[in-house]
A and B are shown apart, each in its own frame.
Chain A
Amino acid sequence: MDSPGSQAIDCDVHAVLPSIEALLPFLPAYWREQIGQTGFKGPTGRWYPPGLPTSERPGLRPADGSPAASRVEHIQRDVLGQAPHPSHAILNCDCAVESLHNPDAASAVSGALNEWIAAAWLAADARLRASIVVPSQFPELAVQEINRRAGNPGFVQVLLPVRSEAPYGSRNFRPVFAAAARHGLPVALHYGGLPGNPPTPVGWPSFYLEEYAGMTGVFQTQLISIIAGGVFDEHPGLRLVLAEGGFAWLPAMLWRFDKNWKGLRREIPWVRRPPSDYVREHVRLTTAPADAPEDPAQFRDVVAQLGSDAMLLYASDYPHAHGDSASDAVWSGLSAELRGKIMSANARALYKL
């Protein structure tokens, strides 16, 4: 997708932690020694098998064998230096801190990750912004981490893995949303997560394909839970970003959700408007992958069915590749005005850029 005048904002770019050693300078002495001496490799954020293009586009791996997207130069060259030449990129550092059962370790590693992001990325290039990594399995500690980072304007949202140990609309997560709302930060739910429970509601899948294709169901569950739980009723200014989860599934889910709300809304009387109203007001989705029709007319229909031109956010999802069906050609079939919103205006409004 092209964009006139480099106004594009890339809303999902990955900063990959090369190894736990990169965090040592940012860890408290106890954890530096503990991690150094135990040989703990750190949590892994590799939701995708490392050799597959969903983890890393072929050909990107640097000669020294370090992972793609593990240094700011990679992103300067492969993202900021390539069409559509984004003026800003939002970094999401997938690192499965939610898999750590020791709350102090989870907190220390989250804090060190954010320090590393601030020092190695945000301070290195003014075009970069980042999501705050939080120990989401310990909501109180997650709130502390949000409070610590919110003063740095380079951090523009709170990152939660879409897979969690309970649906995000449940009350125990509410302090995390409250903290994000208090600081005016959107919350991004991103593909993946290692909370310890299976990635499907019916147990462990046999194949990577099942987990990967089925992740849209996890996004749906979280979105339904957050709206039913009244998160947006409590925090009318809060925005939610669904990152790397596709968007073409959304219209069908909203038809069902609205229909069922009409007859069951007494259960959740705080939800006073059809769920689709909340989604259009509060929810944004990144464009990679789109998982949308290859036929331009059908593609336009799906985008129109979203019911708002403020919802899509351009993302390259660097360094991942999803073999997306939504080629540049189908994006070009959208009106120039809508493309301008997707490429730039929607993200500018969301992140106040």
Chain B
Amino acid sequence: MAKHIVSTVAEIPPGTRKLVEVAGRSIGVFNIGGEFFALRNRCPHQGAALCTGQLGSAVTSPGPGRYEVDRAGEILRCPWHGWEYDVRTGQSWFDPKGVRVKAYETAVAPGSALVPPATGLLPGPYVAETFAVSIEEDYVLVEV
């Protein structure tokens, strides 16, 4: 397992997502209110690009005709057959224990912590994917 630098924080404002390639996998990185979450971009049902689906609320109901919405933007719907997943955990709505999409640990780190100016090198276990790291920016890391 290594922590991969996948994006600057500025590139994924709250409510948006970025699809990245990490270690040969397509992964969606989501910013929910400043917190970052990463999910495998592959629906466990039939393999759709899950992380391209719509983000919506958690919809619950105390009884017929009553609709309650909560956690706006935290529920991801598969573009193919509409299965819903919790972006925070990767668990499916209809079977949280049995059906889930792989969720990866994320972290945010300042460029200065990733590239000590003294050496200009990336200290392990960080892996820069496609871009140079600047000490001026904050970065999103995904552990794969």
Contact = CB atoms under 8 A, between A and B. Distances in A.
Contact of A263 (B59, B63, B81): B81
B130 interface: no
Interface residues of B, number: 18
B47 interface: no
Interface string B40-80: 00000000000000001001111111111000000000100
Contact of A261 (B60, B65, B66, B94): B94
A269 B82 contact: no
Contacts of B66: 270
Q: Secondary structure of the B side of the interface?
A: strand
B64 A262 contact: no
Chain B CB count within 10 A is highest, among A231, A234, A262, A265, for: A262
A264 interface: yes
A266 B84 contact: yes
A234 B66 CA distance: 12
B63 A234 contact: yes
A101 interface: no
B83 A233 contact: no
A262 B65 contact: no
B93 interface: yes
Nearest to B60: A269
Contacts of A263: 78, 81-83
A322 to B, nearest CB: 36
Nearest to A264: B82
Nearest to A267: B59
Nearest to A265: B94
A234 B63 CA distance: 6
A262 B82 contact: yes
Given A266-B59, A274-B94, A230 B64 contact: yes
B91 to A, nearest CB: 13
A229 interface: yes
Given A261-B94, A265-B94, A270 B61 contact: yes
Contact of B59 (A171, A230, A269): A269
B111 to A, nearest CB: 41
A171 B65 contact: yes
Interface in A240-276: 261-266, 268-270, 274
B83 A270 contact: no
A146 to B, nearest CB: 20
Contacts of A274: 94
Nearest to A174: B64
A139 to B, nearest CB: 16
Interface of B: 56, 59-68, 78, 81-84, 93-94
26 contacts: A229-B64, A230-B64, A230-B65, A231-B64, A233-B63, A261-B94, A262-B83, A262-B94, A263-B78, A263-B81, A263-B82, A263-B83, A264-B82, A265-B84, A265-B93, A266-B56, A266-B82, A266-B84, A268-B61, A269-B61, A269-B67, A269-B68, A270-B61, A270-B62, A270-B63, A274-B94
